[in-house]
Amino acid sequence: MATIDKARFTARLAVSAQDVRDAQSLRHLAFIEGTGAPMRVGGLEQDKFDDRCRHVLIEETATGKLVCCFRLLPLKDGSEIDKSYSAQFYELSALRVFTRPMTELGRFCIHPDISDPDILRVAWAVLTRFVDDEGVEMLFGCSSFKGTAAENYNDAFALLRERHLAPKCWRPKVKAPNVFQFAKRLRRKPDANRALLGMPPLLRSYLAMGGWVSDHAVVDRDMNTLHVFTGLEIQAISPARKRLLRAVAGQDVNKTACSG
């Protein structure tokens, strides 16, 4: 993947062990410090999946400061789904029959002291270029809510139940020992504004493009989060949205590689 320069930010792939450590340090700051999650040795949030992934860093162009990072785990198709991070928490046998390339997006975080919508735009530019270059037909991962108190997100979960549940043919089943089965337990009418405010920005982006979620949230006390499995079939993205994403990514807006 070539470097992407947009607005005040530059996105690139990690090319050294230090790059990966820098990403792990930002992840520790975003996911661990001050969140109530157990602190990690050396101030690095890391796991066995890091060695299998490609790591993306988004930096301030002028200063080189790391402001966002995430990792990508490409899979040739659904037969490799059990190799993913998400498979630790969700029973994903339904996705084993997906016959096209997939990629897991994980550990997405933005520096907690920086708020700039262009960062998310640059991240989606990176993902758009990666999807086109690699012929990816599904993005998936775990979308996390801060904390483990499900009642804080009742409107968000009610909205997910009402509008965004995974198709039955792909829907993950329960695997983790501690889950909140919001599709079964919530029957309230959601307040849409409050629901969207309670959702992480990356999840809102997924849903705006036609993404879907599991019918339950996993209670992950190690990360002090609730998370839902999230999938986005590339063919579900509207042509107009694809053209916009490719324009931001600096690509040919008429490409057909990910048109489904």
Report residue 33 CA to chain centroid gap: 20
Residues of the chain with pLDDT under 70: 1, 251-260
**pLDDT recorded at residue 255:** 54
**pLDDT recorded at residue 254:** 55
State residue 172 phi and psi, 5-degree precision: -65, 150
**pLDDT recorded at residue 252:** 52
Report residue 174 CA to chain centroid gap: 20
Taking each helix axis from N to C terminus, what angle separates 117-134 and 201-208, rounded to the nearest 10 degrees?
Answer: 50
- Give bridge partners of residue 71 from the DSSP assignment: 55, 106
- Cβ(179)–Cβ(221) below 8 Å: no
Q: How distant, in Å, are the alpha carbons of 61, 64, 103, 191, 224 from that of 7? A: 9, 14, 27, 34, 33
- Cβ(69)–Cβ(23) below 8 Å: yes
The amino acid at 114: I
Q: Which domains does the chain have, with CATH numbers?
A: 4-249 (3.40.630.30)
**pLDDT recorded at residue 251:** 65
CA distance 88 to 73: 14
CA distance 254 to 258: 10
Q: Which two tokens stand for residue 229?
A: 């499995």
CA distance 45 to 47: 7
Residue in 107, 101, 99 with CA at minimum distance from that of residue 123: 107
CA triplet 213, 236, 118: central angle to 5 degrees? 80
pLDDT one-digit tens code per residue, 181-199: 999 999 889 999 999 999 9
pTM, two decimal places: 0.92
The amino acid at 113: D
Cβ-Cβ contacts under 8 Å for 189 (sequence gap 6 or more) = 158
Which run of H or E residues covers position 90?
strand 90-91
State residue 13 phi and psi, 5-degree precision: -80, 145
The amino acid at 160: L
